A and B are shown apart, each in its own frame.
Chain A
Amino acid sequence: MTSGGIRRSFTAVAALALASFGSAALAAPGPWQLNMERGASTWSPVPYHLNNVALGVCTVIGVLVFSAMFIAIFRFRKSRGAVAEKWSHNTTVEVVWTTIPVLILITLAYLATSGLTSWADTTGSQMTVKVTGYQWKWRYDYVDYLGKSIDKVGFMSRLDTRSDQTRQLGSGMDPFAVKVGNENTYLLDVDKPLVVPVDTKIRFVITSGDVIHSWWVPATGWKIDAIPGIINAAWANFTTPGTYRGQCAELCGQDHGFMPIVVVVKSKADFAKWLAAQEAGSAAPASAPQTAQVAASASGKQG
């Protein structure tokens, strides 16, 4: 290989590494992706930065400890004539290497606690969406937007037909061919996505109609379980319009791997149009199942 070839391939590797480790706002996972994504909401940089700081701290400690160990392995070998020393404790050293980790932990705990406190504060939201997990689909019900309650806008969101056909055992279909535009959406696309406005603090109230699921869109920076009989709350404020993909993250039965989540973030104007169309189109709505009844009858049947 010529030196130019080496340089070119180095550049290519560097670009790949940068792309896979970089912090671009990814809407979906990428091939060779190495690190967590920064996400696309106001809060999502919190876990991203915490992840990077913790990883950095661990890397530094790891390099120090493992270097000491490898130096010991090379210096104190019997084959090099090393003679074992007799000492077996040293109080000063032990106090030092107990205290330093405590100080590092206090720093990490401070960072994590402030991030957690901001996450837990769902007050001041401008919109509420109710999310209900079912085996194996999601239901979205729009509760209110900008102080006005919304009636009869709600729908089920299932795995798209292409993915569903492809994922059948022995389908003979190629997962790599499941694309929307240039993006491969195999198992990450739905028939009807959740549509929300940008720059709006959205409160999600999350529950389940049967078993436990977990609603996870990595771009929000969090996941939270959908549990029958319990309503969890969390919030997200998306900063960039786009299509964000996620998956159910709690084992919920045979099709756990096949109930993706897609959130389409629109500009406020586009969202208002979309919402109006939905409200107009809900003259013949599919009535929302009563969650409590479903939960009771589901566990009754299963029992």
Chain B
Amino acid sequence: MSYAATHDQHDDHHGAPKGFFQRWCMSTNHKDIGTLYLIFSLTMLFIGGSFAMLIRAELFKPGMQLMQPYFFNEMTAMHALVMIFGAIMPAFVGLGNWMIPLMVGAPDMALPRMNNLSFWILPFAFVLLLSTLFLPGGGPAGGWTMYPPLSLQSGSLAYAVFAIHLMGISSIMGAINIIATILNMRAPGMDLMKMPVFVWSWLITAFLLIAVMPALAGAVTMLLTDKYFGTNFFNPGGGGDPVLYQHIFWFFGHPEVYIMILPAFGIISEIVPTFARKPIFGYKAMVFAIACIAFLSFIVWAHHMFAVGLPLGAEVFFMYATMLISVPTGVKVFNWVATMWGGSMTFETPMLFAIAFIILFTIGGFSGLMMALVPADFQYHDTYFIVAHFHYVLVTGALFAIIGAAYYWMPKWTGNMYNEFWGKVHFWNSVIWVNVLFFPQHFLGLAGMPRRIPDYNVAFANFNMISSIGGFLFGATQLIFVGVLIHCAFFSKKKATDRVWEGAKGLEWTIPSPAPHHTFEVPPVINDDELAHGHVND
């Protein structure tokens, strides 16, 4: 604590503001705003998760038991919107806010007031979105993709569109802030090719965000004017084209899925070397692979549209481009395994989540490669096979990485160690039930169950029941996570050391635990031996 004490004594301005409103609502501190993002994301995880529980409850057995089909459609659409824009993306922004300045030796984010604004827009955006469930006509029920003409039948389209505009503004501001911070605020000696992989992954992700969020904003604005201002962008009756929407949407949507996984790659690339006590294998290849994936993400969007009747040449092009992505992604997986090889491994909770990520994300990658093959995708498309695929990459991929990151950095944030026993209970329950939940969905899809249906033939009954049981238990398991977080923040007696983990390297581990309210007000003197990647060019 000596660092904080010496700096706090001579000037109260350097401590956290005393008033609750002052501290949290008017914060310009990257750590406090990071905490706000993470708490918001956890809240949304449970709201989106409760929608998922309702979906799995209705699908527990054949026949309609609990809800009308329209409400089921609202649940599928809202589950996706809340999880993507409310849980996963803000969690990564929160982690970036907390860790990027600490990792590059910056005193704060480059644009602290904008940082405050980009967070505080989000609660309003989601109040707007969630309020539609209580309005006459209900919430968006045309899927998170909001394909017209169906989405134009929704009475709450304007609410959803404005909510998405707000989320997009928030994301773009967050991305600008992250780019400005990384490019301008690094401590002297923190060269680009010495930055942690997590920082690299966020730099690239931020460029993706700036590139594609405007495309989404454009697409939903066209929906809005089609519905309320008499335009015919997507109305064939007026010379428009419903498929145009899908092209614009997926030009956003495919980079979007990498926005949700690249920072996860960064997190895994931090956790694995720490617990293997060995530098990451092929640092340059890891950075280059992320950049490659980001580039390819712009030229594969129509693989979401293989069944809309694209010309043969387009199907072939998008198939090849999509298949190419598996090369850099494979390199990342191989490099993580090579990092473990020859290491000296221990298996604390963050490492367990990282290992589960590597295996289960790879399974999601395999089904992704299978879906790239157009003739096979004619069968897989819009079935539960695809539901299984994207939940493997988003739940056991993105979410597991976020949970792993929370365990990994929580001691640095709170100054306390979490309870390792309950962390492991959380891990093993999560990893077992998530597979019970999603693995059978592969079979359902292959057997012919379409996605987004509230009821099904009895042939699909067995696997749906298994999947629902897995879903309820996976959902319940996340309550353990909340318990561990609260215990760590407020009740844990075990103090964390500054280094926290024996094998941890990088600037963030040189400051005290908990991290003082202000850090690196004077740029740190960089010692390459302290950095995880200080000797890449040697």
Contact = CB atoms under 8 A, between A and B. Distances in A.
Interface of A: 28-37, 46-48, 50-51, 54-55, 58, 61-62, 65-66, 68-69, 72-73, 76-79, 82-90, 93-94, 97-98, 101-102, 105, 108-109, 111-113, 115-117, 119-120, 166-171, 173-176, 184-188, 210-212, 214, 216, 218, 221-225, 227-230, 232-233, 246-258, 292, 295-300, 302-303
Interface of B: 62-70, 73, 141-143, 147, 149-150, 152-153, 226-228, 230, 235-238, 240-243, 276-285, 307-309, 312, 315-316, 319-320, 323-324, 326-327, 330-331, 333-335, 337-338, 340-347, 355, 358-359, 362-363, 366-367, 369-370, 373-376, 378-379, 381-383, 443, 446-463, 503, 536
Nearest to B65: A169
A227 B62 CA distance: 29
- Max chain A Cβ within 10 angstroms of own Cβ: one of B347, B367, B457: B457
A76 B344 contact: yes
A85 B463 CA distance: 46
B343 A251 contact: no
Contact of B277 (A62, A84, A174): A84
A173 B455 CA distance: 14
25 contacts: A29-B459, A31-B458, A34-B443, A35-B443, A51-B379, A51-B446, A58-B370, A72-B341, A73-B345, A76-B342, A76-B343, A85-B342, A89-B281, A94-B331, A98-B331, A108-B373, A111-B373, A175-B62, A176-B458, A223-B378, A249-B307, A249-B450, A253-B141, A258-B69, A302-B149
Contact of B379 (A47, A73, A185): A47
B323 A254 contact: no
Contacts of B65: 169
Given A223-B379, A254-B70, 4 more contacts: A78-B345, A94-B335, A169-B64, A250-B382
A77 B341 contact: no
B373 A112 contact: yes
Contacts of A256: 69, 73, 452-453
Enumerate the 8 nearest inter-chain pairs by beta-carbon distance, A residue then B residue, closest first: A229-B236, A296-B237, A257-B453, A232-B309, A58-B366, A33-B447, A222-B378, A85-B342
B324 A88 contact: no
Nearest to A34: B443
Contact of B346 (A65, A77, A171): A77
B236 A228 contact: yes
Contacts of B62: 175-176, 186
Contacts of B307: 214, 222-225, 249-250
A58 B343 CA distance: 27
Contact of A89 (B282, B461, B503): B282
A55 B64 CA distance: 34
A36 B379 contact: yes
A291 to B, nearest CB: 10
B315 A223 contact: no
B344 to A, nearest CB: 4
Given A30-B459, A166-B63, A251-B142, A79 B346 contact: yes
Given A112-B373, A211-B149, A89 B285 contact: yes
Contacts of B149: 210-212, 228, 298-299, 302
Given A73-B340, A229-B242, A302-B149, A85 B278 contact: yes
Contacts of B463: 32
A62 B366 contact: yes
B379 A117 contact: no
A254 B342 CA distance: 56
Nearest to A75: B341
Contacts of A230: 236, 241-243, 309
Nearest to A189: B457
A175 B278 CA distance: 57
A54 B376 contact: yes
Nearest to A176: B458
Given A76-B343, A89-B285, A254-B70, A224 B309 contact: yes
- Max chain A Cβ within 10 angstroms of own Cβ: one of B236, B279, B452: B236
B283 A113 contact: no
A255 B69 contact: yes
A89 B68 CA distance: 57
A297 B236 CA distance: 11
A186 B63 CA distance: 9
A47 B375 contact: yes
A302 B458 contact: no
A186 B457 contact: yes
B344 A84 contact: yes
A113 to B, nearest CB: 6
Contacts of B150: 211-212, 251-253
Contact of A247 (B64, B334, B450): B450
Contact of B381 (A170, A173, A249): A249
A105 B326 contact: yes
A116 B375 contact: yes
A112 B450 contact: no
A97 B330 contact: yes
B340 A82 contact: no
Nearest to B241: A229
Contacts of B68: 169, 254
A90 B337 CA distance: 13
- Max chain A Cβ within 10 angstroms of own Cβ: one of B347, B454, B459: B459
- Max chain B Cβ within 10 angstroms of own Cβ: one of A48, A77, A108, A119: A108
Contact of B278 (A88, A168, A169, A233): A88
A119 B285 CA distance: 39
A104 B462 CA distance: 35
B21 to A, nearest CB: 43
B143 A251 contact: yes
A72 B312 contact: no
A224 B307 CA distance: 5
A113 B312 CA distance: 10
Contacts of B240: 229
B446 A108 contact: no
A60 to B, nearest CB: 11
Given A65-B362, A78-B344, A171 B63 contact: yes
A187 B373 contact: no
B324 A299 contact: no
Contacts of B147: 211-212, 250-251
A280 B111 CA distance: 77
B359 A76 contact: no
B345 A77 contact: yes
Contact of A30 (B279, B340, B447): B447
- Max chain A Cβ within 10 angstroms of own Cβ: one of B280, B285, B448, B459: B448
Given A51-B379, A171-B63, A72 B340 contact: yes
A173 B335 CA distance: 55
A179 to B, nearest CB: 10
B308 A47 contact: no
Contacts of A35: 443, 446
Contacts of A253: 70, 73, 141-142, 150, 153
A51 B376 contact: yes
B327 A69 contact: no
B237 A73 contact: no
A72 B343 contact: yes
A221 B379 contact: yes
Contacts of A65: 333-334, 337, 362
